[in-house]
């Protein structure tokens, strides 16, 4: 059993903290708001009033805070936790806040305190099922001592020195950007009262077809499948709702349009969104500290 503090009880943090309590660890929890504390207290966690009280006499401190500013305030704010950290304490930052924030946190913590950069790959369902993948950067000794704690969340792997994990997570985020584009497209289609299967059939015609197929397959409750009749002479299709049948019928468009198409085609919009995401992460490039 490890005496640990868990700081940050948002959607992900509260689920992760709960799994650590269930694994038998002695967990003290703190959050800026209190709505997620009662369920964890019922499970066996100990809620405290300040970050300093949370980390006092703890062997391991895990933070799951959304921004670099929140991390800095937690350690160096009015109720700062940094001065009460034990010399042998290991701090594990598990949110994705970038390489610069990792370097700044290392500079602000006492030298005797080990820092692990440990962002997670996955979302709330994976956290609840204990299926998060954890990239860990930092001293190998600090990781090995608390490997069993991370394994309660599933699959930790040390990828290199401090900062390596943050850089790797940024690269992974670019790779999974198409999923974000698809989810946004599905949400928009739902607001426009488009059938989910109709939307999936259209998205399957884009360069994101492989990702679309995986997401569609992973849905636990799918609507009744639609039937499609392809138009061999044209690749650009439109859909209409048949009054004689409840299914969606696909057919080729008329030779001429009575009015111009509005908005971006699906492919152009997907490429724009993916390019925008890549550019945003490009601006966050950072040097990995050896």
Q: Which residues are catalytic?
A: 169
Residue 63: predicted pLDDT: 97
Instruction: Tell me the torsion sign for CA atoms 245, 248, 250, 254.
Output: positive
Residue 173: predicted pLDDT: 81
Residue 218: predicted pLDDT: 77
What's the mean pLDDT in 138-152? 94
Contact partners, residue 184, CB within 8 Å, separation at least 6: 273
Residues carrying CATH 3.40.50.720, the chain: 3-162
Over residues 123-134, the pLDDT tens digits come to 888 899 999 999
Over residues 208-258, the pLDDT tens digits come to 788 888 888 877 444 444 433 333 343 333 333 333 433 444 444 444 444
Residue 272: predicted pLDDT: 56
Over residues 82-116, the pLDDT tens digits come to 999 999 999 999 999 889 999 999 999 999 999 99
% pLDDT > 90, the chain: 50
Over residues 167-205, the pLDDT tens digits come to 999 888 877 777 778 888 888 888 888 888 888 888 888
Look at 63-77, 102-116, 258-272 and tell me which has the smallest mean pLDDT.
258-272
Residue 134 · residue 96 · CB < 8 Å: no
- Could you say which of 3.40.50.2300, 3.40.50.720, 3.30.450.30, 1.25.40.10 is the CATH number of the domain covering 3-162? 3.40.50.720
Instruction: Tell me the torsion sign for CA atoms 210, 174, 156, 132.
Output: negative
% pLDDT > 70, the chain: 76
């Amino acid at each position: 059993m490890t005496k640990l503090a868990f700081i940050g009880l948002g959607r992900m943090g509260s689920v992760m903290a709960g799994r650590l309590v269930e694994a038998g660890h002695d967990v003290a929890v703190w959050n800026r708001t209190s709505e997620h504390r009662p369920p964890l207290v019922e499970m066996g966690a100990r809620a405290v009033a300040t970050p300093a009280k949370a980390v006092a006499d703890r062997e391991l401190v895990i933070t799951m805070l959304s921004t670099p500013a929140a991390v800095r305030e937690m350690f160096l704010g009015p109720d700062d936790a940094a001065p009460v950290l034990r010399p042998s304490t290991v701090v594990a930052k598990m949110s994705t806040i970038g390489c610069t924030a990792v370097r700044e946190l290392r500079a602000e913590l006492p030298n005797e305190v080990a820092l692990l950069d440990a962002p997670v790959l996955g979302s709330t369902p994976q956290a609840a099922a204990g299926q998060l993948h954890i990239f860990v950067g930092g001293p190998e000794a600090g990781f090995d001592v608390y490997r069993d704690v991370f394994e309660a969340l599933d699959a930790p792997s040390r990828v290199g020195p401090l900062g390596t994990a943050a850089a790797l997570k940024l690269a992974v985020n670019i790779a999974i950007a198409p999923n974000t584009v698809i989810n946004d497209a599905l949400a928009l289609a739902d607001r426009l009262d488009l059938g989910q299967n109709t939307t999936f059939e259209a998205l399957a015609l884009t360069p994101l077809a492989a990702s679309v197929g995986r997401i569609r397959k992973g849905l636990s409750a799918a609507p009744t499948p639609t039937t499609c009749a392809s138009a061999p002479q044209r690749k650009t299709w439109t859909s209409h709702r048949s009054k004689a049948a409840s299914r969606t019928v696909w057919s080729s468009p008329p030779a001429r349009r009575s009015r111009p198409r509005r908005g971006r085609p699906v492919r152009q919009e997907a490429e724009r969104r993916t390019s925008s995401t890549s550019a945003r992460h490009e601006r966050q490039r950072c040097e990995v500290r050896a």
